[in-house]
A and B are shown apart, each in its own frame.
Chain A
Amino acid sequence: MNRSELESLKREIAEVLSRAQAKEDLDFLKVKYLGKKGILSQYLRELKNYSPEDKRLLGSLLNEIKEELEEALRKKEREILLAEEDKPLDLDLTLPGRKPKVGAFHPLSLTIKEICSLFEGIGFEVVEGPEVESDFYNFTALNIPEWHPARDMQATFYLENGALLRTHTSPMQVRAMKVRKPPLRIIAPGKVYRCDADVRHSPMFHQVEGLLVDERVTFADLKGILSYFAKGIFGEKVRLRFRPSYFPFTEPSLEMDISCVICDGKGCRVCSQTGWLEILGAGMVHPEVFKTVGYDPKQWQGFAFGLGVERIAMIRYGIDDIRLFFDNHLYFLGSFR
């Protein structure tokens, strides 16, 4: 044995290793080189016949070859084992997964949540109140006295006990102000009721009422908050217009239209060719309402707005029959997953 003999052994090993492909090849090499009767073992046994000087040189070379081989075998084995797991299996991967069946929020819940979170983001607090109301909170306290023709604006359901089903969420303005001191910002979502039933009207529907009272808050600020809301729900590109209107509990009053989101204001069936969709009513809180709740109208100003949730959901989702919301057909509900 001499140095060049060992060098060529080293090359030989490198070559056979590179050709090894299966676990069996490796086992064969292990026996051939490293086994008790293997080539390297034989060389190592022969070492004792050499001088101390050669023993040291050749020995370290032999050890080096042995260690390299062992390391290479380990690496190769790992490679082969990993590669073995890449072999295709007898399994149809196109079978559908074991999918948990997920239900869905009601679209009106989603819409209410979205509206509320927009306002919660700017410091409005969500409050809720009774659906069975007194004449006082639903009308009188909102500056709609008993014999006022404005009562015709809202066809009211009366109950056998003399109470009524609230026709709007506006009573929450009064209820909130009665128990809180100004300044305040509240948002009140909830069910409301009117004797009306057709494609566009449901005897039960949802509104969200908003109220902001502070020392100096203006009609211009109201326009600002309403723009924030409309852009938040319908996107930055939506265009707005404000029309004077009449609500007994606000003065001045307005109605807000948005550019039709279906046709982008060009005119279509949904917007009756006008390019605009009426979205909400609002106004500056009427001093009579402040007086009723014990706020000094000389010190406090405020605005209120009320919007119909179904209307907004219908526009957003392109739904033309309000009854779909209350039929609760699971196919329909499933589309809001």
Chain B
Amino acid sequence: MKVPFSWLAEFIELEAGPTEVAEILTFGGLEVEEIYDHYETLGEIVTVKILKVEEPPGLKELLLCEVTDGREIFPVLTGAKGKVVPGLIVALARPGSKTFFWEKVEVKEVRGYKSWGMFLSPFEAGLSEDKGSLLSFPPNTPLGAKVYQVLKVSEPILEVAITPNRGDALSIWGIARELSLLTDWPLKFPVLDPSLEEGNAPLGKVEIWDEDGCFRYLGRWFSGIRVTSSPLYIQKRLIFSGLRPINNIVDITNYVMLELGQPLHAFDWGRIEGGKIIVRSAKEGEILLFLDGIERQFSADDMLIADERKPLVLAGIMGGEDSGVGEATNEVFLEAAWFNPKRIRMSTRRHRLTTESSYRFERKVDPEGVKKALLRATQMILEIVKPQSFSQIVDVYKVQYEPTPIELPRKKIKDYLGIEIPQDKVKSILSKLGDLTEEEDFYRVVPFSFRQDLSIPEDLIEEIARVYGYEKIPTTYPHGALYRVTLPKERKIIERIKEFLINLGFYETITYSFVDPKLITLLNFSKDDKRAHPIALENPISSEMSVLRTSLLPGLLLTAQFNQRREVENLKIFEIGKVFYRGADLAEERINLGVLLGGKTEPEWYEETRPYDIFDLKGIVEALQEILRQPFEFRPYSEEPFLRKGLSFDIYLGEKKVGFFGRFKSLLVRELDLLEPIWVAEIYLDALLPAYQEVTKEEITKPPKFPSTFHDVSLIAERTLSVERILKFIQNYGLSNLEKMKLIKIYEGPPIPEDKRSLTFRLWFRAEDCTLRYEEVEPLVEELVKTLTEKFKVLPR
């Protein structure tokens, strides 16, 4: 909320300047986000001297002036005939600035003549009612100077952030009240003469049909009024507060709202049919054309102010165009009401329509302040608009406001805050929040009607703490028993995986949980795959972020794209994060690991660069298998529709699929404008983490006592023969003392025939109780080779 400092000064004896007041409010809980001079926001309005005045042919109404700001000479067109003479120093609003009334000033061109700004009248500069002359300055005034600085005119505005619980502070009076609570500076309230309550008989009737929505409704009639623009001081304050002046009646309602926090509404009584104001809930489908030119349709929860025939206003929110006060208005009905905040909010939410009025009603207006506001508006209308007559006040009070007393145990203050606050201080604070009575063990406070945010003892403790000052409360440490804290094994293993990948050169990425549905479509999931049906956001930021990801691949692919477009071509990236599926409850959330490997190895002086291949990725997944300590099974030819079948695997744990990896299809790489090759893996960690177990003592390998001996076996085999089959065969062959084995060399080329290759396996043997001699192992290996030769049609080399 914008608080013009001069306005605030009318309601409280200020004993400090804007900066200090801002500090006090901020440390009292009303954060002042900014202090600025309103006139500075208008832009460059400067003094210029008129050098020459011409009447060029073809510019009937306009004069062409040559002016200078002391540095440059430039032309300005003006219609102020007879007021501009060479040598005169005037105020120029430069292009890009605004007049006081928010009229934008731009470079203009009329019949080929350019104008670099606009001369301001005192009125256009917001300085006086004088519209007829130009704002001018004595001859010795410096040129190019800021006009408002020359005139020493300023208006400091405090931009105050009001938290949603403090509807009572949404007014100048409310801020003053709060400031007084924090400082004890005396308040000043305008004197409202009791005669303001009187008047001739009412001109119409008021009925409340919707008692759930409207607790109290007051109004009065004014007749014989002349609607014109309001005096400058009212317009100025509205403008300082960010509101646009309309006419005297509407401006007064807004002025009082800003001043006291009570929204008011004025009707053109001539437009009301049947002589009656009815507060009722809307009928489904009723329609009203609003002041903002938009037609809205109501539903039964909306509350209307209506006459006997038609809706007039969406209660507490916005009025209809037809019943609004305009120049033709002769009789006015002025409303001051206390609406149910919940009902107002239901309507603002449904219609997505928030106004200064609804904002205040939603945050609770002061039920005891409604009449005061009506009287204050009456006072101003009598003074400014001078109606011929006005009516008594009609007051329909349906739901009485009943404050709830709060009992605050004396002991609780210290128990809660950790400090003893002097009793007289506590009493002084509480007495400014409501009617205070003291009992032996507790204070009883009946909060004032404007402090509806206070309802429990803790609320009062907060008031005491903030008025006393948070900084005066000491800094201590909690006492409490020590207790066991366990680190979940899931977090431990996730950290381990991250560290592992990072040490391999991978970068951890974090990408958005919402993705473009097009990317999901691009992955080509089959219809019965749950990943094909992401949960959509009702109100996404953009279509690129409109569904929850069902896979980590879209994010990784976009990251690859982002980087490759910025000349980072070789990529090793991963993400550990959640994917979301449609679930029985809110959603099924699963933690996945996604890996993307793209491009080539780095060129090095000791190593040729080469594109990443399937064995790079397979090796990483094999190592992850060791870290996760679970026996995955790699099934070649993945089912994933976006992977190249011949270069991919599905990962299984038993009969459960726990991931996949392989080469991302080239067509999709092209569609995404990526560089080949792209290798991806996704592992469903959630399926693996629960079964993860730390090393058991049975698994610990003791250092061997006797040395091992190894034996190499070279075979010439068909290229199509699977190495894994041979390894498995040897494994199961039952060689005694075989410790481990490994493929150590593949050779293709002469003298090996083209359809064959040479495979070399190394077999290590070790006995637990003696040193094995080569001769002991050799016959076993020879026999193995013989068997392999027969079984796999291979030749020893």
- CB <8 Å contact, A244 and B466: yes
Q: Which residues of A contact B572 (CB under 8 A)?
A: 101, 103
Nearest Cβ in chain B — how far from A232, in angstroms? 13
Given A252-B462, A326-B512, are A157 and B506 also a contact pair (CB < 8 Å)?
Answer: no
Report the nearest B residue to A113, measured CB to CB.
B495
Residue A77 at the B interface, CB < 8 A? no
Q: Which of B40-48, B272-280, B318-326, B478-486 contacts A (4 or more CB under 8 A)?
A: B478-486
Q: Which residues of B contact A286 (CB under 8 A)?
A: 458
Given A224-B476, A246-B29, are A103 and B415 also a contact pair (CB < 8 Å)?
Answer: no
Q: Which residues of A contact B604 (CB under 8 A)?
A: 98
Q: Which residues of B contact A100 (CB under 8 A)?
A: 503, 505
Residue A89 at the B interface, CB < 8 A? no
Nearest Cβ in chain B — how far from A122, in angstroms? 9
CA distance A102 to B362 in the complex (A): 56
- CB <8 Å contact, B487 and A301: no
CA distance A108 to B511 in the complex (A): 12
- CB <8 Å contact, B510 and A109: yes
- CB <8 Å contact, B586 and A163: yes
Report the nearest B residue to A283, measured CB to CB.
B462
- CB <8 Å contact, A157 and B562: no
CA distance A197 to B488 in the complex (A): 34
CA distance A193 to B548 in the complex (A): 12
| The residue from B165, B483, B536 contacting A150, defined by CB atoms under 8 A apart | B165
| The residue from B486, B506, B566 contacting A329, defined by CB atoms under 8 A apart | B566
Given A147-B341, A221-B418, A221-B476, are A328 and B573 also a contact pair (CB < 8 Å)?
Answer: yes
What does the 1/0 interface line of B362-373 toward A look like (CB < 8 Å)? 110000000000
Nearest Cβ in chain B — how far from A187, in angstroms? 10
Given A223-B474, A252-B465, are A160 and B538 also a contact pair (CB < 8 Å)?
Answer: yes
> Which of A95, A109, A183, A241 counts the most B-chain CB atoms under 10 A from its CB?
A109
Q: Which residues of A contact B477 (CB under 8 A)?
A: 221, 224-225, 228
- CB <8 Å contact, A104 and B508: yes
- CB <8 Å contact, A126 and B415: no
Nearest Cβ in chain A — how far from B592, in angstroms? 14
- CB <8 Å contact, B536 and A193: no
Q: How large is the interface on B (under 10, 10 to 19, 20 to 34, 35 or more residues)?
A: 35 or more
Q: Which of A7-15, A24-32, A80-88, A129-137 contacts B (4 or more CB under 8 A)?
A: A129-137
- CB <8 Å contact, A246 and B485: no
Given A191-B513, A284-B458, are A243 and B478 also a contact pair (CB < 8 Å)?
Answer: no
- CB <8 Å contact, A218 and B476: yes
- CB <8 Å contact, B586 and A251: no
CA distance A40 to B539 in the complex (A): 105
Residue A91 at the B interface, CB < 8 A? no
Q: Which residues of A contact B195 (CB under 8 A)?
A: none
What does the 1/0 interface line of B341-361 toward A look like (CB < 8 Å)? 110011000000000000000
Given A102-B503, A219-B465, are A159 and B458 also a contact pair (CB < 8 Å)?
Answer: no
Q: Which residues of B contact A287 (CB under 8 A)?
A: 456, 458
Q: Which residues of B contact A333 (CB under 8 A)?
A: 507-509
> Which of B163, B456, B512, B605 counts the most A-chain CB atoms under 10 A from its CB?
B163
Given A123-B485, A244-B465, A284-B458, are A103 and B513 also a contact pair (CB < 8 Å)?
Answer: no
- CB <8 Å contact, A219 and B471: no
Report the nearest A residue to B560, measured CB to CB.
A328
| The residue from A133, A193, A220 contacting B476, defined by CB atoms under 8 A apart | A220
Q: Which residues of A contact B164 (CB under 8 A)?
A: 148-150, 152-153, 246
Residue A245 at the B interface, CB < 8 A? yes
Question: Which residues of A, 186-204, contact B by the 8 Å Cβ criterion?
Answer: 191, 193, 195, 197, 203-204
Given A103-B502, A163-B586, are A147 and B346 also a contact pair (CB < 8 Å)?
Answer: yes
Residue B535 at the A interface, CB < 8 A? yes
Residue B580 at the A interface, CB < 8 A? yes
CA distance A326 to B416 in the complex (A): 41
Q: Which 3 residue pairs of A and B lie closest in terms of their CB atoms, listed nearest first?
A: A220-B418, A218-B418, A244-B29
Residue numbers of B with Cβ under 8 A of A are: 26-29, 31, 163-166, 341-342, 345-346, 362-363, 415-419, 456, 458-459, 461-462, 465-466, 470-471, 473-483, 485-488, 491, 498, 501-514, 535-541, 545, 548, 559, 562-563, 566, 568, 571-573, 577-578, 580, 582, 586-587, 589, 602, 604-606
17 pairs, A vs B, C-beta closer than 8 Å: A102-B502, A103-B502, A103-B504, A124-B485, A131-B580, A132-B589, A153-B164, A161-B586, A183-B483, A203-B541, A218-B476, A221-B477, A224-B477, A244-B465, A252-B465, A331-B568, A334-B507
Residue numbers of A with Cβ under 8 A of B are: 95-96, 98, 100-106, 108-109, 120, 123-126, 130-134, 147-150, 152-153, 157-161, 163, 165, 183, 185, 191, 193, 195, 197, 203-204, 212, 214, 216-221, 223-225, 227-228, 241-246, 248, 251-255, 284, 286-287, 301, 325-331, 333-334
